[in-house]
Amino acid sequence: MRAPAALTVPGDVLVGASAAGWPFGVRATAGLAGASVLLYWSGMALNDYADREVDAVERPGRPIPSGRVSPRAALVTAAALTAAGLGVAAAAGGRRALGTALPLAAVVWAYDLALKDTPLGAPAMAAARGLDVLLAAGAQGRRAAAPAAATIAAHTGIVMALSRREAEGSSHALPEATLAATAVLAAGVAAAPGARGRHRAASAALLSVYGRTFGGAQFAAIRKPDPRRLQRAVGAGILGVLPLQAALAGRAGATRVALPLLAALPLARRLSRKVSPT
């Protein structure tokens, strides 16, 4: 269920809560972050169930085609994790949180079972991460958290564009386009109004980490856009959301959120050497 990638999920909720002024409080927000991880893990299990035939050809070492996990076990796991995620969201945030968690779970299942290989696949995945940001924002805080949600959704769309070609490679044009989009995204975060001077400076420093993490891998893929380098760029994009989340939290003045998110990056990198985040 991609342990390194799961480390990137709680930051969505924390960024949304920071932007919205912590409407659920710190303890309930922590519960919502846990619910977010459970829903993410459900999507990972469901993804392997849905991709089992493709993985048998392209990635035979994955759990289902290798025989380590049965398709039924993967599907049951996905359903159980979804139910657990919704239950934790309801316990932590009541109906207000469940009102976002239910659409989030629906998008996850729709993406894996129906939309992934269609033109709606990338927008669906982006929407899921955007809803994840809004999970702890509450109805009154959604407007304040919307820019952060849009930023995380846009980053997800960029990663998805790269992932479409990670198995077979691409032309130079794809990583060139995604690198340009990454630069525009980072510039938009840096130029967004509303942050105080020291918060803006902290955010800019964190954005530089984001640029080195994700942008550097894309630059390497431009030089040689083969499957290995594209897969590295996708992995860097998955983990690179951590400094992006930290930058968004820093802009909101939540340094106590930003620093742990940044500190999670080396841990995620270390784990990714053992378990691929893709």
CB 161 within 8 A of CB 122: yes
Query: What value does the mean pLDDT take over residues 245-265?
Result: 94
- pLDDT tier for residue 167 given thresholds of 50, 70 and 90: confident
Q: What is the pLDDT of residue 151?
A: 97
pLDDT in tens, 52-83: 999 998 889 889 999 999 999 999 999 999 99
pLDDT in tens, 266-276: 999 999 888 87
Determine the Cα–Cα distance for residues 62 and 48; give it in Å rounded to an integer.
8
Core vs surface per residue 50-64: b (16+ CB within 10 A) or e: bbbeebeeebeebbb
Mean pLDDT of all residues in the chain?
94
Two structure tokens written together for 243? 């400094």
pLDDT higher than 90, residue 164: no
Determine the Cα–Cα distance for residues 159 and 233; give it in Å rounded to an integer.
8
Query: What value does the mean pLDDT take over residues 196-225?
Result: 92
Determine the Cα–Cα distance for residues 19 and 134; give it in Å rounded to an integer.
10
Q: Is 120 left (phi over 0), alpha (psi -120 to 50) or beta?
A: alpha
CB 137 within 8 A of CB 20: yes
Q: What is the pLDDT of residue 277?
A: 79
Amino acid at 39: L
**Which of 40, 60, 42, 43 shows the shortest CA–CA distance to 52?**
60
Q: What is the pLDDT of residue 58?
A: 83
Using a 10 angstrom Cβ sphere, with 0-12 exposed, 13-18 middle and 19 or more buried, the burial of residue 138 is buried
pLDDT higher than 80, residue 110: yes
Whole-number CA gyration radius for the chain: 18
Residues whose CB is less than 8 angstroms from the CB of residue 209 and which lie 6 or more positions away in sequence, other chains included: 243, 246, 262, 265
- pLDDT tier for residue 221 given thresholds of 50, 70 and 90: very high
Tell me the H-state helices in 1-51.
3-6, 10-20, 25-50
Q: What is the pLDDT of residue 125?
A: 95
Two structure tokens written together for 145? 């958290």
How is domain 3-272 classified at the architecture level of CATH? Orthogonal Bundle (1.10)
The rounded percent of the chain whose pLDDT value lies above 90 is 84
Q: What is the pLDDT of residue 218?
A: 96
pLDDT higher than 90, residue 196: no
pLDDT in tens, 33-55: 999 999 999 999 999 999 999 99
Q: What is the pLDDT of residue 267?
A: 93
DSSP assigned state of 212: I
The SS3 assignment for 99 reads helix
Tell me the H-state helices in 137-226.
138-163, 173-191, 197-210, 216-223
Amino acid at 272: S
pLDDT in tens, 85-99: 999 999 999 999 999
Q: What is the pLDDT of residue 75?
A: 97
